Chains A and B, each alone.
Chain A
């Protein structure tokens, strides 16, 4: 063939041409911009409009933040220094920092206690959230609720110690009998724990020192962002076991149990959280024995826990329904009874499917803890709208305070949702 070419064509190239770089408008940033910003005329217009909106946003907020004052002692002092210039008066954050975080009644000399509890919280959550960490760290998680209770509320150390003892006794009874029969072990454990708590009530009141190591702080003195975090963490962790029980109950073949669960779930999901908080603040007290005084914090925790348990139950029900029927049948054919099948086969898989949904509920619940400000608890939003904006020094500092609250919630909620996405990728063991 090459012979023919030699005679018929004047020139045949025998070597390869050296590779050239791509033309300037077909590679690099120019190409990227042509593809992603100016693909068509309409697209280019959209880009310009979006850039203009972005410019407006940045040009109006950035100088305001940049020129912000941090050290004045009141709004009028801010205005004096600024002399009509538009800039933020962030001094309200520095001056009221402790109130924003801890509320206005928590004793100032004890601020270190919730702070230590917060640091402990990170250590307690770490082994739950990241299961690559050594499992021994879970001991911190188990001790955390009691330690946090003691640190925040103070009082005698024997109360959390005996509460813990109840769990330990219950666990030992459970571990002793669970090999015979799950129901026997479970209910025996619960009964043993209750008996321990009942007895320890007398012991604690007998041996409690009159001057405890940490002075007691009543619940109504809690406030600020601490209250949001406490409500969020307590209610989510309490509502997960309750939600699992409700989801299993809803799937139960026993009509009575099934219908009780269905009615509970649908009722709670049908009403807004705020009406449940009204129940907590004005109605729930009627349902306790006349001599009992259950404080508002506990009543709110009860109602929010019921609220989120109903939503978590629905998420877990989705997870249970998503499992192939073969898993249930396989468990049955192995001769496992209901409790074994659930514990060993069904729930581990169903919970894994439900984790993203549960995290979504947790984020929503954490945002909803701001609603307690409506029933006059002084959480972060309640602090801002109540004591701080009402004070003569800071009357009118809306944007700095509301912006601070918004940023704080954004950081936490965005962080949790990023974690959830990471977890979803991490748990994706099916090869799709």
Chain B
């Protein structure tokens, strides 16, 4: 082959650029490159002409100027004097917050529904099939609006909880469900590090303690595993694990004086004061994304479990494993290989669908940067580009994680 495909010296003719497969791809790519460059130049010249006509320029300096609007649900300190950049950060954190919350609940709901769809109980099976079909076939925007309407139109106003003799008492003395959202106690520390008020440092320390507990508990489990391998008897680790998780927490809270800021019906005549308020938009978005995506995850889980062949279950049973160990040691590890990749792309969908927050007024990145900031500053191109960049970074990092996972879970074949 190679002897035939080497052209004789000096035999190159211009027509070979089209007719000879060795050169044709170069010709085509050159043509494509020129066409692409022309198209990009055309778009760019239009953009430049339009911007000149409108007296605009591309500049990101608006990020530094004061935002001038309030956001009702923020994870960090923010007020209307803060910069547009800080408003965007608030939006990013809010997007991540609702995405993470929805991922967790959607997974729980989806696994639950997916397993029940394979139940041998006919009624439960049909009920779950109904859930999956109904939620998959109706747009998520309609679900978000329906749940938001339930929260705002059906729940009582905050006024119902106010006064000496309210119409409704706080549920369990601590929770209040109103049409503006849920009020619940907020934990805080009275003693800070080295004296003074409690601060964010306490929370960092708390996280450090939890991480330490996690590693401690893992060490205990590993040593129990080793003992089981060596002697065949597994020592009971329940109590010691409980102690490792709870004792440091209790001691930590005692030292730094953990207390709870309760929602107070008496402090104010118009609204409940104190505690954490989880706004109705956040709850609506969280619930709607969870039940909508949960239906998709249920289908993934069902497909994953069904993908494990029946022979595996029977072989495990023939080895004498009990049904729950068959599930945990044989079926689930194999099903997870099938379930996890679509599961992660569902997480990606949740993150992208969380941009529908703008429909119910939850201040995520689309509503702050792509909504109010865009409308106030008129910087449409810059805002939309930054918005796309943010989602692109999230999507690409999630796909990178997925690729790493897929490679590690790939069947090791010869």
Contacts and interface: CB of A to CB of B under 8 A. Distances in A.
A409 B137 contact: yes
Nearest to A51: B123
Contact of A50 (B46, B50, B124, B353): B124
B374 interface: yes
Contacts of A54: 123, 127
Nearest to A269: B395
Nearest to A385: B145
Contacts of B396: 266, 270
Given A46-B121, A275-B388, A414 B380 contact: no
Contact of A278 (B124, B146, B370): B370
Nearest to A255: B29
B358 A374 contact: yes
Given A255-B29, A270-B391, A286-B50, 17 more contacts: A36-B120, A46-B119, A46-B121, A47-B124, A53-B127, A254-B29, A257-B29, A257-B32, A270-B396, A271-B352, A271-B388, A271-B392, A272-B352, A283-B381, A287-B50, A374-B359, A406-B138
A278 B384 contact: yes
A269 B359 CA distance: 22
| Top-4 shortest CB links A-B | A270-B395, A36-B122, A413-B137, A272-B352
9 contacts: A270-B395, A271-B352, A274-B356, A283-B384, A286-B50, A289-B46, A290-B49, A381-B141, A410-B137
Contacts of B141: 370-371, 373, 381
A255 B46 CA distance: 29
Nearest to A228: B139
B137 A256 contact: no
Nearest to B354: A272
A290 B366 contact: no
B138 A410 contact: yes
A363 B121 CA distance: 30
Interface string B173-204: 00000000000000000000000000000000
Chain B interface, DSSP helix/strand/loop, else mixed: helix
A370 B388 contact: no
A402 B134 CA distance: 14
B28 interface: yes
Contacts of A43: 120-121
Chain A interface, DSSP helix/strand/loop, else mixed: helix
Contact of A47 (B121, B133, B355): B121
Contacts of A283: 380-381, 384
Interface residues of A, number: 56
B355 A36 contact: no
Contacts of B33: 256
Contacts of B359: 373-374
A398 B124 contact: no
Interface of B: 25, 28-29, 32-33, 36, 43, 46-47, 49-51, 53, 119-124, 127, 133-134, 136-142, 145-146, 149, 153, 352-353, 355-356, 358-359, 366, 370, 374, 380-381, 384, 387-388, 391-392, 394-396
Contacts of A257: 28-29, 32
A281 B207 CA distance: 44
Given A275-B387, A414-B137, A253 B25 contact: yes
Interface of A: 35-37, 39, 43, 46-47, 50-51, 53-54, 253-257, 260, 266-267, 269-275, 278-279, 282-283, 285-290, 363, 367-368, 370-371, 373-374, 381, 385, 396, 398-399, 402, 405-406, 409-410, 413-414, 417
Given A46-B124, A256-B32, A272-B391, A413 B352 contact: no
A275 B149 contact: no
A39 B121 contact: yes
B142 A405 contact: yes
B139 A398 contact: no
Q: Which of A255, A363, A406 has the most CB of B within 10 A?
A: A406
Contacts of A267: 388, 392
Contacts of B136: 413
Q: Which of B141, B392, B395 has the most CB of A within 10 A?
A: B141
B121 A275 contact: no
B154 to A, nearest CB: 9
A270 B355 contact: no
Contacts of A367: 137-140
Q: Which of A255, A278, A279, A414 has the most CB of B within 10 A?
A: A278
Contacts of A399: 149
Contact of A260 (B36, B153, B358): B36
Contacts of B46: 286-290
Contacts of B36: 260
Nearest to B53: A290
A35 B49 CA distance: 74
Nearest to A279: B384
A402 B381 contact: no
Given A271-B388, A374-B358, A254 B142 contact: no
Nearest to B292: A367
A287 B43 contact: yes
Contact of A274 (B119, B122, B366, B380): B366
